[in-house]
Amino acid sequence: MTIRSLSLGVLSAVVGGALLVSVPTASQLTPAADWEAPRTPWGDPDLQGIWDSKSTTPLQRPAQYADREFLTDEEIAALEDAREREAREGPQGRDVRAEPGSEADVEGAYNNIFSTGLGTRYSRTKRSSLITDPSDGRLPLLTAEARRVAQAREAAAGRAASAPRPRADVPYPVDTGRAYDNPEDVRLIERCLGVTIPCTGGLCGFSRLVQGPDGVGIYYEQGHGGGGYRSIPVDGRPHLGSHIRQWLGDSVGHWEGDTLVVDTTNFTPQTSYMGSAEHLHLIERFTRVAPDLLRYEITVEDPTVWTRPWTMELAPTLQDSVQNLIFEAACHEGNYSLTAMLAGARIAEAGAR
C-alpha cells in the first residue's frame, strides 16, 4: 500500500461568504501533566499508526441526557451490556435465523460475526454525544432549502415504502424493497464509490496515518464500500483554485503546538455528507493525548445546509501496527452485486408483465 507524500495551508477560509474558525471545546481528552507526545525524527508530534475510531456513542445527544454532557462509568456499562444482549438475543438480533437451509435463511443478511459494531464500546470521552458544539449535543437547524430537499427525499422514501416489502420471515433482509432502476438509485457504498469525509461511521472505523516532513497521509478502510487515500500538505501552500473539485476535497494543514490542524474545501457536487456537497467545509484537529489515544475534533460548516457550524469529538485508539490490522479495500474487484441487483430487477419486471 502506497501513500503519496503531501502538504499545508491556511486555517481559516471563506466559504459561501462565511468565515469558519476552529475553536477547541472543553474535553476530557487532555494530556496528563507528565505526558509528552512522541516526536518524529524531524521534530513534529508523532501521530502515526493504525487508529480505530469506532464507538457506540451517538452523534446526537439522546433526550434522556438532555442536560448531561458526560455519562458515568455505571451508565456506560449498562448501555453496553444492553446493546450486546439485544444484538445476540433479539428479538431482532442478527443471530436470529430462519429455518436453516430455507430460502428465507439464504436471503437474510450477515449475522453478528460479520458486524463491524460487535464488541464496540462507548467512546473514552464518556460523552453523551459525539457533538460537542452546539452545547445541547444536537445538530443545528437546517436551512429552509435543506428542509425542502429533506422533505422531498422523505416523500420519495415514502413512495418506495409503498412498494412490496421483503418477506416477513427473513431476519434482517438484504432486499430493502427500494427501486433498482439505475445505478444511481443504489447507495454509494454498493456502488464502490469509497469513503467520504468526515469518515466516522461504523464501517469506517480504522485508518492508517503516516507522516513526512512536508505532509501527512491517511488511508481510510471502509469495509466492502472501498477505502480512500487522503494527502494533506503541511508545507505552507494555499488551497487549490475553487474550480478544481475533488471527491475528498482539497486539504491543507499546519501545526498549532502539538495539534495538527487541517482545513478542507473544494468538495465535488457528488460529495454526500448528511446532505452537504460542494459547499462542505471542514476543520479537523488531531492531537495525541496519550500513548494509545488521539483527540480528533471536526468542525463542519455548510451554510446551504445548516444554520451554523457544528463540532464533534472522537477518540481514536491505537491498534497493533505489527499485525498490520488494516488492508486496502478493492471494492470494484469482483463486485458483481450491483450488476446482479440491476439484472434481477429487470427479470422481476419482465415476470410481472
Q: What are phi and psi of 188, to 5 degrees?
A: -60, -35
On the CB side of 255, how many CA atoms lie within 13 Å of its CA?
A: 15
pTM comes to 0.80
Q: What are phi and psi of 3, to 5 degrees?
A: -115, 120
**3-class secondary-structure state, position 339:** helix
In this structure, are residues 258 and 275 in contact, taking their beta carbons and an 8 Å threshold? no
pLDDT of residue 2: 35
Q: What is the mean pLDDT of residues 273-287?
A: 95
Query: Which region among 16-25, 76-85, 116-125 has the lowest average model confidence (pLDDT)?
Result: 16-25
Highest mean pLDDT among 46-60, 176-190, 219-233, 327-341: 46-60
- DSSP H helix total and E strand total for the chain: 4, 13
Mean predicted lDDT score pLDDT of the chain: 80
Residues contacting residue 176 through CB under 8 Å, at least 6 positions apart: 166
Q: What is the mean pLDDT of residues 134-146?
A: 95
CA distances (Å), 187 to each of 115, 134, 238, 300, 352, in order? Answer: 19, 30, 34, 23, 25
Highest mean pLDDT among 81-85, 226-230, 248-252: 248-252
Torsional sign, CA 341, 342, 347, 352 = positive
**pLDDT higher than threshold 70 for residue 167:** no
Q: Give the DSSP letter of residue 92.
A: S
Q: What is the mean pLDDT of residues 66-71?
A: 91
CA distances (Å), 161 to each of 75, 156, 157, 344, in order? Answer: 36, 9, 6, 19
